[in-house]
Structure 1
Amino acid sequence: MSDQRIFITGGASGLGQAIALRYARAGWRVCIADVNDTRGAETLKTLSSLTQHAHYLRCDVTREEDLRAASEWLASNWGGVDVVVNNAGVAQAGAIEEVSLDDWQWIIDINLLGVVRGCKVFTPLFKRQGHGHFVNVASMAGLLDVPMMSSYNATKAAVVSLSETLHNELADNHIGVSVVCPSFFKTNLTESLRTSNAGLRTVMGKLLERSPITADDIADQIFRAVARRDFYILPHSEGRQAWLMKRLLPRNLYASVIRNRTRRMRGHGGAPQA
């Protein structure tokens, strides 16, 4: 039985749940946080069959006080935490002129500031312990520039930049950082999707469903990468290839590939594949 401890936001479903189960199978103490109490209870029941120490906390990442309460619970009950996974996130899609500023503020508050709050709140605990590791869940959308998803892309790009900054800033404190950038995979992300374009919703759902890579596959890659203290975790080979193309090709050539793909997809009422 491991004495290591992990805390995961958005841990009651999707990738967060898969990460929780992977660490539970390894014998870690697993604390999940979510805003869905029903799913939280269901996931906790499964976790409790895999590890002796599992706990669920209701936690809204838009509320700094919720994350502070989680930090205090972990310090008081488990003596601290070794890995914090800032995973909670939502999706938004649409043309730049169609997306409301309210939707921009909504996605920034969760996808970006939710990660900022998690890092801000848990860094002092990590420093007191003398160690810790952040896993920030971004997306290939944060490394690429898929049209019709500007707000989602921007928040995920900001999470990548934040993670890169903290990787340097916290190194002398023995605090590790990893950033996860998956492409499409089977998850419940469309439940949170805000869009006025029915075609975008349909195509995104199809892309998520047809992926050969599952949340469990990505969770296993995260488990192994964090043990090695890797920084970038890019689970999809197609995503890695696209990122390499973006970095090596002249911008105009890369952009023409993306634009052509977008035009083809728009002809079918959808969005391009990341």
Structure 2
Amino acid sequence: MSHKRVFITGGASGLGRAIALRYAQAGWRVCIGDVHAQRGAEALAELQALSPRSLFLTCDVTREEDLREVATRLTAEWDGVDVVVNNAGVAQAGTIDEVPIADWQWVLEINLLGVVRGCHVFTPLFKRQGHGHFVNVASMAGLLDMPRMSCYNASKAAVVSLSETLQNEFVGTNIGVSLVCPSFFKTNLAESLRTTNPGTRQFVEKLLSRSKLTAGDIAEQIFQAVEKREFYVLPHAQGRQAWLLKRLLPRRLYTELLKSQMSKMRTGGASPSA
């Protein structure tokens, strides 16, 4: 890509920070948006050592005006932006009768509508420029249907559908879309986890820590996918296998397989796939 300017929501920690560092290492101008000021300042110092024109802007993806301010600032300072990574996200776990509606609203406002706002705000800028690329971070949870995670699964499935729709919508333009669906990996997602079951947090943290892939590994795959303008970015082999089985197996057999895998995961006998 001839232009090298990227904006990343949730860019002060976790996968967002890893993506930011990967782009900075490649010499891109990097802007991270985040609600955490201290983490943002720390990440910015790291980024500016690699790419001096990098920026940190306070940005809450539940506020459309924050994203519009970012678009205005990047237009003024960088004359636009080439890649927008809609990465900010939170987690929720619990059965359908346990999770309060307020938690559904919290998750959907960030995980789904945060991505919608990013695409809504930056598409006109991409159209004016004549090019651009969205990276929407979903999860294998959006392709599979792990039990006791209906709220999180539904939010990520909606990001999958949104991204697939936008890919179709942008046909004939120079605007690209990449959809990222990682499984569990070493990150700080558990920090944001809301759950009604005290044991769930420990279980999720165990799954995150057992992953062989790091945030840096996934950031590298994202970087390469954008360069090649690839749509699906499914970093985990087991996740890809599980998605294939879901599409090929009769529903009853898939459900039984999922139940067996969940049982093994809880006893430490299997690696996570979503």
TM-score category, normalised to shorter length: over 0.9
| 1:45 matched residue in structure 2 | 45
Distance 2:237 2:128 in 1: 38
Matched, 1:191 2:191: yes
| 2:215 matched residue in structure 1 | 215
Distance 2:54 2:3 in 1: 12
| 1:206 matched residue in structure 2 | 206
Unaligned runs of 5+ in 2: none
Aligned residue pairs, count: 270
Distance 1:77 1:161 in 2: 33
DSSP 3-state at the match of 1:49? helix
Residues 138 and 182 in structure 1, CA contact (< 8 A), matched pair in contact too: yes
| CA deviation vs aligned residue, 1:80-113 (integer Å, no higher than 9, x gap) | 0000000000000001100000000000000000
| CA deviation vs aligned residue, 1:114-142 (integer Å, no higher than 9, x gap) | 00000000000000000000000000000
Distance 1:134 1:273 in 2: 25
Shift of 1:173: 2.3
- Once the two structures are overlaid, the 10-residue window that deviates more, 253-262 or 50-59, is 253-262
Shift of 1:250: 1.0
Distance 2:255 2:241 in 1: 15
DSSP 3-state at the match of 1:172? coil
| 2:246 matched residue in structure 1 | 246
Cα 1:204–1:72 change in 2 (3 A) is same
Percent identity of the aligned residues?
69
DSSP 3-state at the match of 1:96? coil
Cα 1:265–1:221 change in 2 (3 A) is closer
| 1:147 matched residue in structure 2 | 147
- What letter matches 2:183 in structure 1? S
Matched, 1:85 2:85: yes
Unaligned runs of 5+ in 1: none
Distance 1:95 1:263 in 2: 17
Distance 1:242 1:95 in 2: 22
Cα 1:267–1:226 change in 2 (3 A) is closer
Cα 1:253–1:177 change in 2 (3 A) is same
RMSD of Structure 2 on Structure 1 (CA): 1.4
Shift of 1:251: 1.0
Shift of 1:38: 0.1
| 2:33 matched residue in structure 1 | 33
Cα 1:39–1:105 change in 2 (3 A) is same
Distance 1:266 1:48 in 2: 42
